[in-house]
Chain A
Amino acid sequence: MDFSLIAAAHAEAVTDAAHAAPKMDPLHHFQVHNYIDITPFGLDISISNSVLWMWIVVGVVFGLFHLAMKNPTLVPGRLQSVAEAGYLFVDTMINEIIGHGGKKFFPLIFTLFFFVLFCNWTGLIPGSFTVTSQLIVTGTLAMGIFGFCIFLGALHHGWKFLGFFVPHGLPPALLPLMVPIEIISFLARPVSLSVRLFANMTAGHTVLGVLFFFTALLEWFSPLPFGFTVVFTGMEIFIGFIQAYIFTILTCVYINDSLHMH
Chain B
Amino acid sequence: MNDPSRGQPHGLSMAMRMSTDLVAAVFVGGGIGYLIDYWFNTKPWLTVIFFLFGLAAGFRNMYRSAMQGLPSQEGKGQGESTRTGGHSEEPPR
Contact = CB atoms under 8 A, between A and B. Distances in A.
Contacts of B70: none
A250 B88 contact: no
Given A100-B80, A185-B61, A242-B12, A191 B56 contact: no
Interface residues of chain B: helix, strand, loop or mixed (majority): helix
B28 A168 contact: no
Given A88-B4, A184-B54, A97 B32 contact: no
Interface of B: 1-2, 4-5, 7, 9-10, 12-13, 16-17, 20-21, 23-25, 27-29, 32, 50, 53-54, 56-58, 60-61, 64, 68, 72, 80-81, 83, 85-89
Interface stretch (A7-15, A219-227, A254-262): A254-262
Nearest to B27: A191
Interface residues of A, number: 43
Nearest to B29: A184
Contacts of A168: 87-89
Given A181-B60, A257-B85, A188 B24 contact: yes
A164 B87 contact: yes
A104 to B, nearest CB: 16
B61 to A, nearest CB: 5
B52 to A, nearest CB: 10
Contacts of A238: 1
Contacts of B29: 184, 188
27 contacts: A88-B4, A89-B4, A92-B5, A95-B81, A96-B81, A97-B83, A98-B81, A99-B80, A99-B81, A99-B83, A100-B80, A168-B87, A181-B53, A182-B57, A184-B32, A185-B64, A188-B57, A191-B28, A192-B20, A192-B61, A195-B24, A249-B13, A253-B86, A254-B86, A256-B83, A261-B85, A262-B87
Interface in A212-262: 238, 241-243, 245-246, 249-250, 253-254, 256-257, 260-262
